[in-house]
Amino acid sequence: MARAAVQRRLTWLRATVLENRPETARVHRLLLDVPGWPGHLPGQHVDLRLTAEDGYTAQRSYSVASAPEDPRLHLLVERAEGGEVSPYLTDELRPGDQLELRGPIGGYFVWSSAVDRGGGRPEGRRPVQLVAGGVGVAPFLAMLDHHRRTGGATAVRLLYSARTLQDVLARDVLGSWTTITLTRGAPADWRGLTGRIDRRVLEAQTFAPTTRPRVFACGPTSFVETVATTLVDLGHDPSSIRLERFGGSGDRS
């Protein structure tokens, strides 16, 4: 399905920043107008390229956080203190600025409602389990918003780990599909989960292996590694688990 969509040559496009607004203390939402954007599948990412006066360039990847149906491209960028690119994007970039980007990239970590339409047989339809750590929720926002807009019949759940309630991104898109766990303290009246995602939480809050879900996990490297290993321990088929790692903690050799 994705193959035809990605076998084109990827050229650098010029995006114009429409808005750069803080979504939480650490994460900004960039709204981009990208003339010539070829469209994307939920889950794909873009490469951004910044160029300094002296010709030095830096490139980084960011997941598209908006549904294909949205005419503007949304990115959610977390400020990595001391980082080269993300603090520039969150703190320097202003509406009207231009950025170079190319994409969409990645045809594996994708899900769209078309996947389950094949043949129209309901028994062929598989539930979709999403597991996000922090800003790793970005590609899932594209999937959820797409799912909502297309009114698909697939059962979808998101298990989302955030530091505090203030760090929860895009509450408008999360909806009733989402279970949130707060890892660094919760308000007194919080009725949801607290603590890190572990075996017990995965067992209780995700589709059981017997329902053969397609599973996607995204977030910091160490988070994704732990989630994937635990899901396999719980009996999920390794070939049904797709991962996207953003880097960050846990990368030290």
Ligand X SMILES: Cc1cc2nc3c(=O)[nH]c(=O)nc-3n(C[C@H](O)[C@H](O)[C@H](O)COP(=O)(O)OP(=O)(O)OC[C@H]3O[C@@H](n4cnc5c(N)ncnc54)[C@H](O)[C@@H]3O)c2cc1C
- Write out the two tokens for 12: 């650098």
- Write out the two tokens for 80: 């990595």
Q: Which CB atom, from 62 or from 177, has the smaller least distance to ligand X?
A: 62
Residue type, 223: F
Asked if 62 touches ligand X (CB under 6 A), the answer is yes
Binding mask 85-124 for another protein (x = CB under 8 A): ---x---x----xxxx-x--xxxxx---------------
To the nearest whole angstrom, how small is the minimum distance from the Cβ of residue 61 to ligand X? Answer: 4
Cβ within 8 Å of residue 197, ≥6 positions away = 131, 133, 159, 161, 181, 223, 226, 227
Binding mask 11-50 for another protein (x = CB under 8 A): -x-x--------------------------------x-xx
Q: Which of residues 130-159 bind ligand X (CB under 6 A)?
A: 135, 138
To the nearest whole angstrom, how small is the minimum distance from the Cβ of residue 247 to ligand X? Answer: 5
Q: Provide the Cα torsion 97, 99, 104, 108; round to 10°.
A: -110
Q: Choose among 133, 54, 58: nearest CA to 89.
A: 58
Interface positions with ligand X (CB under 6 A): 45, 60-63, 76-78, 80-86, 135, 138, 244, 246-247
